[in-house]
Amino acid sequence: METFTERALHIIKNIPPGKVMTYGQIAKLAGSPRGARQVVRILHSMSKKHHLPWHRVINSKGEIGLKDDEHYSIQRLSLESEGIEFKLTGSIDLKRFLYEPEINNQ
């Protein structure tokens, strides 16, 4: 049986270019609806090792969760390069860009 971390890694790796998922959405699909902070830890500690598209993971408000100016800019530019557009408020239209994979595929 796969662990939460393994399921989360699989979900994150499969977010297609031009789409985003939220920390909570990934946590729920991976089997822990309240595990959004665990997803943050996975991204922080395993993105390089597993070549994760970390820039495609945002918060539930459709915003980049990073507060550091350099990392915020990298994430925003990476998303924009994939065709994701930001509203004037700095958020992403989740109705348009949210990826909702079939649960059966996980």
pTM above 0.85, yes or no: yes
- Judge whether residue 105 has pLDDT over 90: no
Residue 106's pLDDT is what?
Answer: 44
Return mean pLDDT, the chain. 94
DSSP state of 20: B
Contact 4, 30 (CB under 8 A): yes
Query: Counting Cβ atoms within 10 Å, is residue 3 exposed (0-12), middle (13-18) or buried (19+)?
Result: exposed
Alpha-helical runs (H) found in the chain: 4-13, 23-29, 36-50, 69-81, 94-97
**Interval 30-76: pLDDT, tens:** 999 999 999 999 999 999 999 999 999 999 999 999 888 899 999 99
What structural domains does the chain harbor?
4-98 (1.10.10.10)
